[in-house]
């Protein structure tokens, strides 16, 4: 029980299976530039996700950057987004010379508050970039209604929602595009990787060119692009992992339900609400919001974080600070009213969750959490 436990652990196939998958690469010497594995994985993911179009990328961040670039927004245009997300979401907007306009979130599911979007729309607004958080799906119907009313694009950051469906529809079908991350820490990984799903056929060629330096032919570089191609080794890992994804998600679900059983009725703890009737989840995260008072060294969240760390159990303050308060922005957005997002950022802890996590360790984790909350140790009057 003394083994270090991280907040997640990468899913991998058997070593021999992966070696056999990559063995042909030593014969073909085709290691990148949209090879056979790349093309097979694109097709396999289209089928699994139930989407009409999909473009693989080197990672989720470049997927989002190039999606924004492909939309052709003018420099200085505004994109309404959430501050309760990984910093990549905000960076992708800024690196495209666009302006992030932060909208607060709902504490019910931590997604963007769709009823606060319209008041943020100006003549410079070109898009809404919501984020599905912890597998909770945004109010896609209402967001699309707003976008249609004001003629705005909708690009979803769906890094937390791979493999999920809403009333039977794959999550990658909403908006103008959805962006996914296949980073090693995700429910499904290609070591490093990402993808963009979309409906417009012409966007595939645009993204294909942009991820390959903007090259249109051997003699024509038509756009300023990037090198965002997925290599064959990553695609091979993706093909292997895709076979075990269903089992992976089942094991995650079992452990999520076990956590809920152990922590669901403790005063001061708020677990993430799930819409099991309409959404099929991939159970990538198990966030806990601590609603208790002030404790020595900070809030109860920080107290629990430290106690878990003493036991070599590494949880994560996810997302803290919120992106609007990141040091790189030098307090630029400090006066923006984001009460719910900051409250969530100050009080949520994501507990370890992965398919192989022993139930004995789940017991250990939940006992530490319960002990901290119920004992009141270190309380500051």
Q: Give every residue of the chain whose pLDDT is below 70, as ranges.
A: 1-2, 292-298, 376-381
pLDDT score, position 230 = 98
The three-class DSSP label of residue 168 is coil
> CATH 3.40.640.10: does it fit domain 15-243?
yes
Q: What residues form DSSP beta bridges with 348?
A: 289
pLDDT score, position 378 = 39
What span, in angstroms and rounded, lies between the C-alpha atoms of 199 and 154?
Answer: 12
Which H/E stretch holds residue 78? strand 78-81
pTM: 0.96
Size of the chain, expressed as the number of residues it contains: 381
Q: What percent of the chain has pLDDT over 70?
A: 96
pLDDT score, position 3 = 80
pLDDT score, position 2 = 60
> CATH 3.90.1150.10: does it fit domain 246-375?
yes
pLDDT in tens, 113-150: 999 999 999 999 999 999 999 999 999 999 999 999 99
Domain boundaries, the chain: 15-243, 246-375
Alpha helices in the chain (DSSP H): 15-22, 25-28, 36-49, 60-70, 87-95, 140-150, 201-210, 232-243, 245-263, 300-310, 339-347, 359-375
pLDDT in tens, 227-272: 999 999 999 999 999 999 999 999 999 999 999 999 999 999 999 9
What span, in angstroms and rounded, lies between the C-alpha atoms of 184 and 329?
Answer: 28
pLDDT score, position 1 = 47
């Amino acid at each position: 029980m003394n083994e270090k436990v991280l907040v997640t652990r990468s899913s991998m196939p058997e070593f021999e299976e992966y070696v056999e998958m990559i063995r042909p690469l030593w014969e073909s010497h085709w290691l990148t530039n949209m090879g056979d594995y790349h093309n097979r994985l694109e097709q396999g993911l289209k089928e699994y996700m139930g989407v009409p179009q999909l473009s693989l990328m080197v990672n989720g961040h470049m997927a989002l950057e190039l999606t924004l670039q492909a939309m052709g927004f003018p420099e200085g245009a505004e994109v309404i987004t959430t501050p309760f997300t990984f910093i990549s979401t905000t960076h992708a907007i800024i690196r495209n010379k666009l302006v992030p306009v932060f909208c607060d979130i709902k504490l019910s599911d931590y997604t963007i508050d769709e009823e606060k979007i319209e008041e943020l729309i100006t003549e410079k607004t070109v898009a809404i970039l919501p984020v599905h958080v912890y597998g909770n799906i945004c109010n896609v119907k209402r967001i699309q209604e707003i976008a249609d009313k004001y003629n705005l694009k909708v690009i979803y950051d769906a890094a937390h929602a791979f493999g999920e469906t809403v009333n039977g529809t794959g999550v990658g079908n909403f908006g103008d595009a959805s962006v996914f991350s296949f980073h090693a820490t995700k429910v499904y990984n290609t070591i490093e990787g990402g993808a963009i799903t979309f409906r417009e056929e012409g966007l595939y060629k645009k993204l294909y060119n942009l991820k390959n330096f903007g090259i249109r032919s051997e003699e024509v570089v038509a756009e300023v692009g990037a090198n965002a191609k997925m290599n064959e080794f990553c695609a091979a890992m993706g093909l292997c992992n895709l076979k075990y994804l269903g089992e992976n998600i089942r094991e995650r679900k079992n452990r999520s339900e076990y956590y809920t059983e152990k922590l669901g009725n403790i005063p001061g703890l708020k677990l993430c609400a799930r819409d099991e009737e309409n959404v099929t989840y991939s159970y990538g995260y198990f966030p806990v919001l601590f609603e208790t008072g002030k404790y020595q060294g900070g809030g109860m969240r920080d107290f629990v974080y430290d106690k878990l760390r003493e036991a070599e159990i590494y949880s994560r303050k996810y997302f803290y600070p919120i992106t609007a308060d990141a040091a790189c922005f030098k307090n630029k957005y400090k006066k923006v009213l984001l009460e719910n997002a900051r409250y969530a950022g100050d009080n949520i802890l994501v507990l370890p969750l992965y398919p192989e996590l022993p139930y004995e360790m789940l017991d250990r984790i939940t006992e530490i959490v319960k002990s901290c909350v119920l004992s009141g140790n270190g309380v500051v009057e």
